[in-house]
Amino acid sequence: MSGWSPHGQKPGSSRGLFVTFEGIEGSGKTTQSKLLAEALAARNMPVVLIREPGATPMGETVRALLLDPKVAICPKAETLLFLAARAQNVAERIRPALEEGTTVICDRFADSTLAYQGYARCGDISTIRVLNDYSTGGLWPDLTILLDLDPGTGLSRQQNRNRMEDEPLSFHERVRFGYLHEARSEPERFAVLDAGEKAEELHRRILGLVLARLAEPRARS
């Protein structure tokens, strides 16, 4: 395969791997995305860790707005704010990193919009799919780790509450259902893991999955 060398690979010789973490509040996305980034960096592999919404000056401003319980935001405005932050993130951080051969790890991405603003807020899922594609320019993860957990356990793990965490349990049940539904429709992209396992064991599994994907050739996009 031209341009592909698993060992001693030069930056830019192959597109980077794009890995996203998804799951309900408290499922361990931030914990696991950090552990994964640290493990790859310890192997001298180029990696960037990005959180959504955020990662750019524009995105961090939008994040503060979205997480502020004092600011009234209607469901459509909420969806569009997430998408605007994502469009900036893809253009400014994600695509450039992937093009130079860096592994990009995102703590939440487009599936969050489908699960929260689509399934849980009962938004128009087909419109959100179109808007997701518009905001990412058609960029989808190579691998999405879905940390599946019952919402009661997830919320009990949380210390700082925000706009989403103040929603009733039924909202988080719909988020979980939405994620699992999406995962079933794209089994090649999703890996669904039991987030009730110990963090160290989950990390070991996730690292194994990612190292296996890194060893596969990837076409430049």
Ligand X SMILES: Nc1ncnc2c1ncn2[C@@H]1O[C@H](COP(=O)(O)OP(=O)(O)OP(=O)(O)O)[C@@H](O)[C@H]1O
- Binding residues for Mg ion, rule CB under 5 A, total 2
**Footprint (CB under 6 A) of ligand X, residues 116-155:** none
**Choice between 26 and 101, CB closer to ligand X:** 26
Stretch 185-214 residues interacting with ligand X (CB under 6 A): 197-199, 202
Q: What number of CA atoms fall less than 13 Å from residue 207's CA on the CB side?
A: 18
Report the SS3 class of residue 53.
coil
Q: Which stretch binds ligand X (CB under 6 A): 21-29, 77-85, 179-187, 208-216?
A: 21-29
Taking CB within 5 to 8 Å according to partner kind, which of ligand X, Mg ion, none is near residue 31? ligand X
Minimum distance, C-beta of residue 29 to Mg ion, in the bound complex (Å): 5
92 vs 197, beta carbon nearer ligand X? 197
Question: Smaller CB distance to ligand X: residue 96 or 196?
Answer: 196
What is the bridge-based pairing of β-strands 18-23 and 143-148?
A: parallel
Beta strand 18-23 with 103-107 is: parallel
How near is the Cβ of 4 to Mg ion at its closest, in Å? 33
Site string for Mg ion, 149-178 (x = CB under 5 A): ------------------------------
Pairing label, strands 103-107, 190-194: unpaired
DSSP 186: -
Instruction: Compare residues 25 and 142 and give the one whose CB is closer to Mg ion.
Output: 25
Cα–Cα distance, 143 to 19 (Å, whole number): 5
Rounded-to-integer distance, Cα 150 and Cα 172, Å: 9
- Residue 67 sits in the site that holds Mg ion (CB under 5 A): no
Please tell me whether residue 23 binds ligand X under the rule CB under 6 A: yes
Q: Which is nearer to ligand X, 25 or 111 (CB)?
A: 25
Looking at beta carbons, which residue is closest to Mg ion?
30
> Tokens at residue 43, please?
């192997």
- As measured in angstroms, the least distance from the Cβ of 111 to ligand X is 13
* 75/77 Cα distance (integer angstroms): 6
The CA distance from 22 to 90, in Å, is: 17
CB 119 within 8 A of CB 125: yes
- Among all chains, which residue has been given the structure tokens 């899922």? 125
As a whole number of angstroms, the longest Cα–Cα distance in the chain is 54
Residue 30 in the binding site for Mg ion (CB under 5 A) = yes
Would you tell me which residues interact with ligand X (CB under 6 A)? Answer: 23, 25-31, 157-158, 197-199, 202
